[in-house]
Structure 1
Amino acid sequence: MSTSTRLGRQLEAPAPTWNKSAAVVVVGGGAAGLSAALPLAAARIPVVLVCRSTLLDTATARSTSRSIGWRNPPTSEQLASAGDGLTDPAAAGRLIEQAPELLDWLDALAHQISSVEQDPRQPLGMTMQRTLASVARVQELLPAGTLTIDTHSRAVDVLTDESGHVAGLRVSRGDGTIGDYRAGTVVLATGGAARLWTHTTAPALANGDGLAMALRAGAALRDLEFVSFAPTALNAPPEERLPGEAAAEMGPTLRQAGAELVDAAGSTIVPLDESQHLPDHELAIRLADWMAAYPGATAFLDARGIGDQAWQLAPHVVMAQACREHGINPARQVIPVRPAAQAFVGGIAINEVGATTVPGLYAAGEVASSGANGASGPADGLLIDALVGGTAVGRHLAQAELPEAADSTDRALRGFLPTDALAGVRTSADEALGLRREHEKLRTTSDFLARLPHEEDFGEDELTGTNLQAVAAALAQAAIARPESRGWHRRIDHAGASDKWAKHVVVSLADDGTLQVTTAALDKPVTTR
């Protein structure tokens, strides 16, 4: 008999020692958070931007995506095909329509900030982050400015009032203090939870904070079972890796240049013409299947034939540096690689303006599920979705009548996961929630996650473990509920997709904290309670 996962509706953090007010609190300093905050600041609406680290230490800044394809965006038919039957046509249409306009706007901003021409070979994420962060800092310093940037602060919980409407945000600051921002509107733009897995390309801050907070606040999570993996991330030897180090992505440009996937003997794993053209999810699954068939064997990218000069040019120079930091000379040696968790495709269910099912709670970026990317989507679609989605939230709220915050009320409180339990959470994710899933392992993992204790007091590590456990439990339930293989969700006991499962899987918390799973038609709009 399965054990029902029971999560706290609110975490038992220490009482706040300070209170501040704002009209809107935006959580997250990447592309989604900044593009949501800037229209509010321009409209002179008091807005606080809460950022875990600095404005230049975000997932956006580390993204290797490029903008070339989105200046002449794919067609709706191409996005629908990439989304494997779950793409929301309206959401995809907004990406197609708005991406070129917003990228041109970013170019103009970048030119205003610096007369130096932007290097077109530089990843879009860094250019986007530096540009938006510079504009935000200027807004913050204006004499009549209404933007406050609170760096080195971590959101703990979204606060709600007796009716379930957002009442603010509880924050843990870097100086160790706990405080509340009182606000009737909160925007979550916190990124994903790819640090749930041992092998990941995600930055250290991708701990599922936004997903877990939204779940506790009562929001619906949609299509959480779809998680993208970098097919060929650097698989450095354990003795060469730092604890918690993110793996560098040995990106598709290497394969396009002629790098082949081979085993230790040099035999081909995936033929070059296939590895060059397969979508990321298909290539990642092919490699995961090979690793399962040959336990303990290592896959390699043989890029020795692309020429020494190629390693000195962008983007290969960054990959070469990552290899050399681990004692590998890619011009002379093969590169050990493996799939590594990269980003969440599913997330908090939102409508066209980023509203969730909780009144006053909005979301944008990787933490949200707009439907534009369906079950897989193009590799660089998530970054563009963050820019488009964040802008949509900011523009909507800048014109909306914003509610004042009512007094918050405590929900069902619960303690924190012990720090020594996090390793078990990650091991269970590696074994059951990766690219090869099957019912019994999913059920066993779900039962294991449900039995974990929540008996610790507040701490940064305890908060990380608690949030990742909540995300893992919700993901496991979503994966169990989808008995088919589609996009990034692969069930080895249910090969192929079924037309009857061309719908959303939705996970939420009941009032007593138990996870509940339902389904929703693709055309069913997201509405607040």
Structure 2
Amino acid sequence: MTSPSSGWDARADLVVVGSGVAGLTAALDAVAAGLRVVVVTKDDLDAGSTRWAQGGIAVVLGDVAGDDTDRHIADTLTAGAGLNDALAVAAIVEGGPAAFAHLRARGAVFDSSGNGLARTREGGHTAFRVVPAGGDATGAEVERALVATARGTAELPLLTGHVGLDVALDAAGRVVGLWVADDHGRPGLLRAPAVLLATGGYGQLFSSTTNPSAVTGDGIALALRAGATAADLEFVQFHPTVLYTGPAVGRRPLVTEAVRGEGAVLRDRAGVAFMTDVHPLADLAPRDVVAAAITRRMAATGSECVWLDATTIDGFVARFPTVFASCADAGIDPRVDLVPVTPAAHYSCGGVVADVDGRTAVPGLYAAGEVARTGLHGANRLASNSLLEGLVVGARAATAVATDLAGPRPALADPVARPAAVPVADRRVVQRAMSASAGIGRDAAGLAAASDAIESVTGRVLPADRAGVEDAALTLLAQAVLAAAGTRRETRGCHVRTDFPDRDDVWQRESLVVTLDGDGRPVVGGGVLAGVA
């Protein structure tokens, strides 16, 4: 879909921002419910994080002996370290089978074994319940099926190459559309009573990440500027095993946790399998535990990486073709060589505060997927729960929008304001500061230094194109993450404070809520959260 000339506007019932698993699921379901829907994405449809997911979808289908939804719920709560919303966890886990069946009906093909669907196991799971596709290309298959369905749906316009500038609001603070700009900076307005944010997380806040270049926190920034709240932003999950080929900036190849699920072992430079002394689940401990243990081991041994020993896995090439190809490009053969790995920024456990139906505190604004904080993940995401959440909440959000828009509707009011100038810093400074001081292992001095470094290069700019929108979002997310990380004076989940190394149950179920002040800067507050604050 191509936009008209500068100053254009168009009308819909729902604007979906983002084209990953949550966004396309919501868009397709909303079309099926009879709504006029437009999907807006700043890149091609398949350029987000979904296609890079390797391990699988965590879902209980009743065909694995000894496993059930209660056990999946318990594993999710354990990984989340006391900050999950138990009701949200139950709703999403229990909604998994139907959502998975719906995805298969849309053409997604999953791996099979002799007795049905194949299963693997990842960190934090106490059962083989993760369903893979293409060996280690689950996200690519999910995205392929959803994109093909979307492109084959004549009633679903796909507006690629357009970035969201701001959510348009009326005088009562209700959503009336989305301001957008195309790749040439030409603005437009999509008028609609509902906007669903499904833009993913903010992995590009760090120099080294598993996330593609498009993942810059745009949706959270849009929501905060519209008056929504965010929470749990300090909980950034670092994937323990990213292929290490030397210092690098940008997206790094992931070595899926399922490799360890099939028997691979982490070793230090002396060959010691160090995870056995760290956690009862050893190499399959929750991700926060493994990533922190690797970081400590590298510091103790003076190494730039640790090594993953997968030489005992039979049929590695067939089981993990994506990982094998990445290793081969680096001159590594996992069948005979140890694979050098390090942690890298991977997943944002927090986001826009939304309920399991995607509703936020702003009337007409919804959020689903990694951009949202539903309470599923708490302080640390359980492996392969992300695709599950996108499928379940994406579908529920479509139902919620259809329900909220049912019946007679008043004419949409005009927006009360156009996009305005916001704080923007040089993203290279932001990424260096965040990587140096807000990764695995934080302390008050480092967080303050990072904040000062970013503040010193921050000015007010009116974003008018994709680069400007992304820089503004990264600046806002850096400020918010640093503020929340500095406020949470304990170690919990994937938030590790070296100056407060213990878990402090004063913070149990205490999520830090972020809003914006009158100058557009993040303000941190506390409060027990269950659903929308």
The RMSD of aligned alpha carbons is 2.5
State the Cα deviation string for residues 43-95 of structure 1 (Å, max 9, x = none). Answer: 22211111222223331122113136443554233322221111111111111
State the Cα deviation string for residues 483-528 of structure 1 (Å, max 9, x = none). Answer: 11111111111122222212110011022323211112134x415x
1:405 aligned partner, one-letter code: L
> Which residue among 57, 61, 81 is the counterpart of 1:67?
57
The normalised TM-score by structure 2 is 0.86
2:338 aligned partner, one-letter code: V
2:297 paired residue number: 290
1:95 paired residue number: 92
Q: Distance in 2 between matches of 1:37 and 1:121?
A: 23
2:125 paired residue number: none
Does the 8 A contact of 2:16 with 2:37 survive in 1? yes
1:99 aligned partner, one-letter code: G
Q: Distance in 2 between matches of 1:341 and 1:454?
A: 26
Is the counterpart of residue 33 in structure 1 residue 58 in structure 2?
A: no
State the Cα deviation string for residues 393-424 of structure 1 (Å, max 9, x = none). Answer: 10111122266432112378215636xx2111
CA drift of 1:109 comes to: 2.7
Does the 8 A contact of 2:15 with 2:196 survive in 1? yes
Q: Distance in 2 between matches of 1:451 and 1:262?
A: 41
Does the 8 A contact of 1:16 with 1:180 survive in 2? no
Q: Distance in 1 between matches of 2:224 and 2:504?
A: 28
CA drift of 1:455 comes to: 5.2
1:50 paired residue number: 40
Q: Distance in 2 between matches of 1:277 and 1:187?
A: 35
Please say which of residues 359-368 and 47-56 is displaced more in the overlay.
Answer: 47-56
1:390-401 correspondence to structure 2 within 5 Å = 390-401=394-405
Q: Quick one: structure 1 residues 51 and 90, their matched pair in 2 at CA, closer, same or farther if it must change by over 3 Å? A: same
Please say which of residues 343-352 and 248-257 is displaced more in the overlay.
Answer: 248-257
Is the counterpart of residue 508 in structure 1 residue 515 in structure 2?
A: yes
Does the 8 A contact of 2:69 with 2:94 survive in 1? no
Does the 8 A contact of 2:269 with 2:303 survive in 1? no
1:436 aligned partner, one-letter code: G
Q: Distance in 2 between matches of 1:103 and 1:151?
A: 27
> Which residue among 100, 106, 111 is the counterpart of 1:109?
106
Does the 8 A contact of 2:245 with 2:330 survive in 1? yes
> Which residue among 117, 125, 135 is the counterpart of 2:139?
125
1:375 paired residue number: 379
Q: Quick one: structure 1 residues 513 and 411, their matched pair in 2 at CA, closer, same or farther if it must change by over 3 Å? A: farther
CA drift of 1:258 comes to: 4.1
Q: Distance in 1 between matches of 2:350 and 2:467?
A: 25
Does the 8 A contact of 1:261 with 1:271 survive in 2? no
Q: Distance in 1 between matches of 2:15 and 2:385?
A: 26
Please say which of residues 323-332 and 277-286 is displaced more in the overlay.
Answer: 323-332
Q: Quick one: structure 1 residues 231 and 92, their matched pair in 2 at CA, closer, same or farther if it must change by over 3 Å? A: same
CA drift of 1:236 comes to: 1.2
Does the 8 A contact of 1:30 with 1:129 survive in 2? yes
State the Cα deviation string for residues 198-251 of structure 1 (Å, max 9, x = none). Answer: 11111111111111111122210111111111101111124xx6x63x211222
Q: Percent identity?
A: 32
Q: Quick one: structure 1 residues 57 and 255, their matched pair in 2 at CA, closer, same or farther if it must change by over 3 Å? A: same
1:428 paired residue number: 433
Does the 8 A contact of 1:166 with 1:405 survive in 2? no
Is the counterpart of residue 224 in structure 1 residue 224 in structure 2?
A: no
State the Cα deviation string for residues 174-214 of structure 1 (Å, max 9, x = none). Answer: 35422111122111000001011111111111111111111
Please say which of residues 93-102 and 351-360 is displaced more in the overlay.
Answer: 351-360
1:191 paired residue number: 200
CA drift of 1:463 comes to: 2.6
1:292 is paired with a residue of what secondary structure? helix
CA drift of 1:354 comes to: 1.1
2:146 aligned partner, one-letter code: L
Q: Distance in 2 between matches of 1:68 and 1:463?
A: 34
Is the counterpart of residue 352 in structure 1 residue 356 in structure 2?
A: yes
Q: Distance in 1 between matches of 2:301 and 2:413?
A: 58
Is the counterpart of residue 209 in structure 1 residue 209 in structure 2?
A: no
Is the counterpart of residue 167 in structure 1 residue 157 in structure 2?
A: no
Q: Distance in 2 between matches of 1:137 and 1:257?
A: 36
Q: Distance in 2 between matches of 1:426 and 1:318?
A: 27
Unmatched 5+ stretches in structure 2: 63-67, 110-115, 119-131
1:110 is paired with a residue of what secondary structure? coil
Q: Distance in 1 between matches of 2:79 and 2:217?
A: 25
Q: Quick one: structure 1 residues 21 and 68, their matched pair in 2 at CA, closer, same or farther if it must change by over 3 Å? A: closer
State the Cα deviation string for residues 425-453 of structure 1 (Å, max 9, x = none). Answer: 00111112111011121122223333433
